[in-house]
Structure 1
């Protein structure tokens, strides 16, 4: 499996002298495109009704659970990044922590899958899952992840989102109530028209 992973990596990784335009495109997806996710969550919270806000909380909690799972993976099994073993090329400076699974994609896809599991936001979730693919490609192309890191991220994202949906009474409801109280007291106090929609 390790040999296959490295072989696939070398097929997708940037050549020694790549197109500068392609590098810039990859850097955009690898570093900045993830900002789309918190923007969607913030808009969903500020403009949505109670049901939408709960979906936002569920998506956020899915991402947190996914990242915790990733941390446990890193503690149990350290997998060096490609540049750490001098494999391929690297065009994105990165700390030499464990590569598996990708935190970047786990965050992105946990939110995406969480939305996809709810009828109300299924199209948005599906779109975000697809939009995660160029992010996955970019991080392989720039030399900080292997293809299997991305597959691992998707599996973790599915597991995290499924847990949050199945156990939302224990996971989502308490966090939603806490955030609603904070929102009402801190934000809605100075802007009454922004008070949470119920």
Structure 2
């Protein structure tokens, strides 16, 4: 599957073909905009026609061939183009791929940016009523809180990789306590969000619990 920005060579085999055969190509982008007809180049054997195609958008592209003369036909090909790989996160993400690699102690998966973004959203869902100081990008300003969030997000990604449990379905508990931290939930109760605080993986909860002066209760984490 090509990525955005790739240049590919479209090919069409025509049989039978002879000196009267002519193949042209119209490329329609995912935006529905067709190109002007491209006169393709015939390869040495005279039966295969080629044309360069530059993929500028993600989505489905249609390659429409029109052959006249001997071997006359109309052929269509659908090509799925992937977005350019993302290496820099956008929006509120609490950990970098470097932090994730250091946490895991190994190379991160190629979709690490997406996983960190999803894990950051999951943490936001779990702590959506929490209070802590933030900057203009809504990122925590206290170093201890930022470090805890980064570690928690990395722990969530690791948990997903180990359990295949992105909604925390196996993370239910009735009560958990450690020092000043106390959590409780009635047996059989349902979380209001895909990953409420009670369904954060244990290592993520532990990271939050280590922040001095913090209290985590009923899915609410606060830094006072």
TM-score of the superposition, structure 2-length normalised? Answer: 0.23
Q: Which has the higher helix share?
A: 1
Higher RCO, 1 or 2 (CA under 8 Å, sep at least 6)?
A: 1
Q: Which has the higher strand share?
A: 2
Bigger Cα Rg: 2
TM-score of the superposition, structure 1-length normalised? Answer: 0.26
